């Protein structure tokens, strides 16, 4: 499904956050939204799914304005994993994941066979099949993040939005989450749009990058072409070095502030 934004603008009080943002997100690809703190990255992501409705301009899916779709219909094709989230203390992993089936359920009745299949598939994709009876509150940070990710996958969305999915995770769990995201994209062709802070995650795991700066889109394109030391200098005011890792991939490492 094709997700597009046209002339998106956001003002909070006297502060303009975004101005006339227009972009067509590549269908079936992984796109990273990056930029300095306060640039409007998360604001843009929330607009894409109507978590923030205070904006001008339009967001469309296959040409249809999402404001006209209704929240339940929108949730059938799009899921978001926001930064802020919480679950009741006694919620089990399976219960949490099952919440992702809400947009697809009928008003009455329990889980359908399709619901059960979606829940079990999400648990398997996130390597949580042995954790389904555990309380979410008892999980480690990495396990908990995978459980929330599994909930969004249980929706079986065509478009998946992730707001800083690796924040507060150690290096191992960061890579684990990014590998799951890449696997979902490869298997199902899910369009994935994620706000990322780690430039090298964007370079290694994404097909496209959108850089937000000065209330608009500063640059877009293939990560390896636009995420250069020069770009980091312009966007983040840092000096960066580049080198190749053991797999031959170029890595960027900021060394000092300009």
pLDDT band at residue 105 using 50, 70 and 90 as cut-offs: confident
Give me the mean pLDDT over the 37-66 stretch: 97
CA–CA distance, 228 with 240 (Å, rounded to integer): 8
Supply the pTM of this predicted model: 0.96
Least confident of 26-40, 103-117, 243-257: 103-117
Structural domains of the chain ordered from first start: 3-87+157-227 (3.40.50.300)
pLDDT band at residue 165 using 50, 70 and 90 as cut-offs: very high
Give pLDDT tens digits for 208-256.
999 999 999 999 999 999 999 999 999 999 999 999 988 888 999 999 9
Strands 191-195 and 30-34: parallel
Query: Is there a contact between 49 and 161 (Cβ–Cβ < 8 Å)?
Result: yes
Phi then psi for residue 214, to 5 deg, are 55, 45
DSSP string, 87-120: --TT-BHHHHHHGGGGGG--SSSS--HHHHHHHH
* Nearest alpha carbon to residue 55 among 90, 22, 33: 22
Q: Greatest CA separation found in the chain? A: 60
> Does the pLDDT value for residue 107 go beyond 80?
no
Give me the mean pLDDT over the 172-191 stretch: 98
Axis-axis angle for helices 141-154, 113-125 (nearest 10):
150
Query: Is there a contact between 128 and 147 (Cβ–Cβ < 8 Å)?
Result: yes
Average pLDDT, the chain: 95
* Nearest alpha carbon to residue 79 among 25, 134, 154, 14: 154
| Proportion of the chain above pLDDT 70, given as a percent | 99
Q: What pLDDT is attached to residue 108?
A: 63
């Amino acid at each position: 499904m094709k997700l597009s934004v046209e002339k998106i603008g956001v003002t909070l009080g006297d502060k303009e956050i975004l101005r006339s943002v227009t972009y067509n997100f590549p269908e079936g690809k992984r796109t990273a939204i990056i930029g300095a703190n306060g640039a409007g990255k998360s604001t843009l992501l929330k607009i894409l799914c109507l978590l923030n409705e205070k904006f001008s301009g339009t967001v469309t899916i296959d040409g249809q304005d999402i404001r006209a779709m209704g929240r339940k219909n929108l949730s059938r094709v799009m899921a978001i994993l926001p930064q802020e989230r919480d679950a009741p203390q006694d919620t089990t992993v399976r219960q949490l994941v099952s919440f992702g089936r809400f947009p697809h359920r009928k008003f009455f009745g329990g889980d359908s066979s399709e619901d059960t299949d979606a829940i079990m598939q999400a648990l398997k994709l996130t390597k949580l099949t042995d954790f389904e009876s555990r309380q979410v509150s008892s999980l480690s940070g990495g396990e908990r993040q995978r459980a929330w990710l599994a909930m969004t996958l249980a929706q079986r969305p065509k478009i998946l939005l992730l707001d800083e999915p690796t924040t507060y995770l150690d290096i191992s769990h960061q890579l684990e989450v990014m590998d799951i995201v890449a696997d979902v994209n490869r298997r199902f062709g899910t369009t994935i749009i994620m706000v990322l802070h780690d430039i090298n995650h964007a370079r290694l795991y994404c097909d496209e990058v959108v850089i937000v700066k000065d209330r608009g889109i500063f640059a877009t394109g293939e990560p390896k072409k636009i995420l250069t030391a020069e770009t980091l200098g312009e966007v983040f005011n840092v000096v960066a070095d580049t080198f190749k890792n053991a797999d031959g991939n170029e890595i960027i490492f900021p060394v000092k502030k300009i």
